[in-house]
Amino acid sequence: MRRQVRRAQTAAPYRRGARTRHTLAILTVLLAASVAFVGQASAADEQVGESASVDSLLARADRALGDGDAASAEVLFSEALSMESGEHRALCGLAIVGLIEDDPDKAIKYARKAIKKDKKNSRYHFMLANGYGMKAQRGGFRAMFYGGKFKKECELAVEYDPENVQAHLALMSFYAHAPSIMGGGMEKARERAETIASLDAYYGHVAHAMIAKREEDFVAAESSYLAAAAVDSQNADGWSLLGTFYIDVERPADAVPVFERVRELVPDDLVAVYQLARARAEAGDDLAAAEEGFKAYIAAEDRPEEPEVASAHWRLALVYEGQGRYAEAMAELDEAIRLNPEHVMAVESKERLGAKHP
């Protein structure tokens, strides 16, 4: 089940400008989707009547989510919604679709409706928390307001299910990043990390790594990420978190073999393709391989929305610049800016390169 919660990040949901689809709030809903539907859907040929039809629809919708096809999942969940026996599960599924589509209003709308059907359902409260978290991530004067709602719904999620590890992890991240006026504090975060460790060894190590990184104790953070990866060395999740940590602390050379390991475990993981290319480019010791990786990511038809393709073009431009291929670098920067005119790094790189090589 953990394999569906890939690359959970530590961005707090109330931090201004912390816009990313691969945050803790977004990715953990995939586990919630799994919990909500896997095991509930029975084989249709073993049942009769509406129940079989609902279970079949929900199972198909769940598979569509797993395949990254949110549009098909939404159609199936909407169809199941019209059947009374599947209503609250379909509402939960539609909330997940809203989160995946970066539509927090949709997520909040359906999560609230699901809660009305089952007021003490931990999953549904965590869905609602995720919606509020996305609203808070967008910043503005209401960021703190939605951050408070995120905290409240996570607290309800763990109250109704004390073993909801993802809700505990979200709360821990909140405590680690939020100001004390909002209820944050490192002591609270550490206590929550101990709770997580008592529930799940893998997430316990991740929680301790997150806290150590927040406190800039990078030695302890590295140790905890290594321990998380060691819990199940065949699971790419821990390795991906470790590699991302190395990139974040500007140790790209150490990230290269880690993301090579991720590629071995999950050959079709396009985020790992991008991250490996980035690590190689930043390490500067294999620009040809970095070029190949960025080109593969750009050409992939089924690439995820994050990292955005504009960033891949920008990073490919930096590779070309490092190889002295300035015209090709400028072309990639132009493409990055065409795709995202607000890509600050691409705009700055174009100005710098243009001044240096007119």
pLDDT in tens, 161-217: 999 999 999 999 999 999 898 899 999 999 999 999 999 999 999 999 999 999 999
In a domain, 60, yes or no: yes
Query: Would you state the pLDDT for residue 73?
Result: 87
Residue 47 lies in a domain: yes
- Say yes or no to pLDDT of 24 above 60: no
**Domain with 121 in it: what CATH number?**
1.25.40
pLDDT of residue 139: 78
Burial of 151 (0-12, 13-18, 19+ CB in 10 A): buried
Task: Break the chain down into helix, strand, coil percent, rounded to 5.
Answer: 75, 0, 25
Whether 15 is covered by a domain: the verdict is yes
Mean pLDDT of the chain: 85
Please indicate, yes or no, if residue 80 is contained in any of the structural domains: yes
Judge whether residue 278 has pLDDT over 80. yes
Give the per-residue pLDDT at 10. 32
What pLDDT, in 10s, does the model give residues 145-157? 999 999 999 999 9
Residue pLDDT, tens place only, 117-140: 899 999 999 999 999 999 998 877
- Inside any domain, residue 125: yes
pLDDT of 17 above 80 = no
**Structural domain includes residue 79:** yes
Percent above pLDDT 90 for the chain? 65
Report CA 139 to chain centroid distance, whole Å.
Answer: 18
- Rounded to 5 degrees, what are φ and ψ at 218? -70, -25
Q: Of 29, 40, 41, nearest to 65 (Cα)?
A: 29
Q: What is the pLDDT confidence band of residue 85, given thresholds at 50, 70 and 90?
A: low
- The answer to whether position 61 is within a domain reads yes
Residue 16 has pLDDT above 90, yes or no: no
Contacts of 143 (CB under 8 A, 6+ apart): 14, 16, 136, 137
Peptide bond into 252 cis (omega under 30): no
Token pair in block for residue 213: 């990184």
Question: In total, how many domains does the chain have?
Answer: 1
Which pLDDT does position 32 carry in this prediction? 42
Residue 11 near residue 24, CB atoms below 8 Å: yes
Q: What percent of the chain has pLDDT over 70?
A: 85
Q: Tell me which residue range forms the domain holding 50.
A: 1-135
Asked if the structure places residue 4 within a domain, the reply is yes
pLDDT of 202: 95
> Which alpha helices (DSSP H) does 215-251 contain, by range?
218-231, 236-248
- Please list, in sequence order, all residues whose beta carbon lies within 8 angstroms of the beta carbon of residue 107, skipping any fewer than 6 positions away: 95, 96, 97, 98, 99, 127, 128, 130, 131, 134
pLDDT digits (tens, 9 = 90+) for 69-84: 888 889 999 888 887 6
Distance of alpha carbon 345 from alpha carbon 337, whole angstroms:
9
pLDDT one-digit tens code per residue, 238-275: 999 999 999 999 999 999 999 999 999 999 999 999 99
* pLDDT of 56 over the 60 cut: yes
Q: Which residue has the higher pLDDT, 102 or 43?
A: 102
Neighbours of 16 (CB within 10 A): 12
